[in-house]
Amino acid sequence: MHQVPEVRRGDRVRRTRRADEALAAMVAEVRAGLERRPLPELPCKYFYDARGSALFDEITRLPEYYQGRTESAILGAHADAIVEAVRPFELAELGSGAGRKIRFFLDAMRSRGWLESVVLLEINDVYLRESVARLQADFPEARVRGIAGDFVSDLPALGPGGGRLLLFLAGTVGNLHPDDLSPFLRAAASALEPGDGFLVGVDLVKDEGRLHAAYNDSAGVTAEFNRNILRVLNDRLGADFDPSDFEHHAFYDAERQWIEMRLRARRPVRARVPAAGLTVTLRAGDEIRTELSCKYTRESFAARLGGTGLVLERWITDPERLFASALLRRP
């Protein structure tokens, strides 16, 4: 029997590069990072394979990790007002992850009859496919599409804005080095038209003990998440790291106002990364930086907006001032 071709689910998701190009880019980034001295580093986006994404999800349920639930409380209370202010017909999200918080906005847009399209830009293509399929099933009136890519380099893949509300939640903006924040915001502004909105979740400077606990949870999930980046190198680049050779080290740098996560060699390590033609040798105590998570105040965040083409329209915080939702507008 001849079958009528159907539009397959996968057609709603596209990648910004072929698999071989993505691998070549990863090899180049990992090599550059590991060759860095005095402190080698790995790009934190490589935490998020299936296991890493599941571990991050687990982190958001830890008692010490306030960010996810604090942001959810803010959005639950303010998504309607944000949608009223921006009046979007397209919702776009960077680093959408498991895709739960976006629903506050989808519901707010739907109830006003404004919801026309949704676009997710996410590095984990498994999460992306699932999110696109689930959102499409729950919001059949919208055109839902996904782009598997990196929110730093692939913003142009969103296509032109106009009636767009762009979301960048969970404090992920903190993973950018502060010097890279203004260029990133400028790039985001190019994916927006005048009147469009950009909602950014910002983790705030706070009591050091609270920050320390959030990145050193007692269940050890963050430690496992940190070590997972080595498993990703093993899986994707054929490396032979033994994650148990490394201990989790996370600390707050009060001067720079960022949390830094590192992996510290417990013993001398010699690991090969064949795809990058590299052998990594570390002495006991040597460290690899795996993540920056920058904390801001309203002032330090606003100071990065100059020259980006975006202005701060609202700054919404929870009562404890742990986290902020910054509504930026392209005037």
Q: Which residues bind ligand AVJ (CB under 6 A)?
A: 59, 67, 170-172, 174-175, 215, 222, 291, 293
- Kindly state the smallest distance separating residue 126's Cβ from ligand AVJ, in Å: 17
- Kindly state the smallest distance separating residue 292's Cβ from ligand AVJ, in Å: 8
- Kindly state the smallest distance separating residue 186's Cβ from ligand AVJ, in Å: 21
Q: Measured between alpha carbons, how far is 77 from 14 in angstroms, rounded to an integer?
A: 33
Closer residue to ligand AVJ (CB): 71 or 154: 71
Closer residue to ligand AVJ (CB): 261 or 269: 261
Return the number of other C-beta atoms located less than 10 Å from residue 270's C-beta: 10
Return the number of other C-beta atoms located less than 10 Å from residue 78's C-beta: 18
Closer residue to ligand AVJ (CB): 57 or 130: 57
Q: Measured between alpha carbons, how far is 11 from 145 in angstroms, rounded to an integer?
A: 8
Closer residue to ligand AVJ (CB): 83 or 250: 250
- Kindly state the smallest distance separating residue 15's Cβ from ligand AVJ, in Å: 22
- Kindly state the smallest distance separating residue 23's Cβ from ligand AVJ, in Å: 23
Closer residue to ligand AVJ (CB): 115 or 294: 294
- Kindly state the smallest distance separating residue 7's Cβ from ligand AVJ, in Å: 33
User: What is the per-residue DSSP string for 112-178?
Assistant: TT---EEEEEES-HHHHHHHHHHHHHH-TTSEEEEEES-TTT-GGGG---SSEEEEE-TTGGGGS-H
Please state, in angstroms and as integers, the Cα–Cα distance from residue 250 to each residue in 100, 225, 289, following that order.
Answer: 27, 12, 10
Q: Measured between alpha carbons, how far is 190 from 187 in angstroms, rounded to an integer?
A: 5
Indicate left, alpha or beta for 307 from its phi (over 0: left) and psi (-120 to 50: alpha). Answer: left
Helix or strand or coil: residue 182?
A: helix
Q: Which residue is nearest to ligand AVJ (CB)?
A: 293
Closer residue to ligand AVJ (CB): 53 or 308: 53
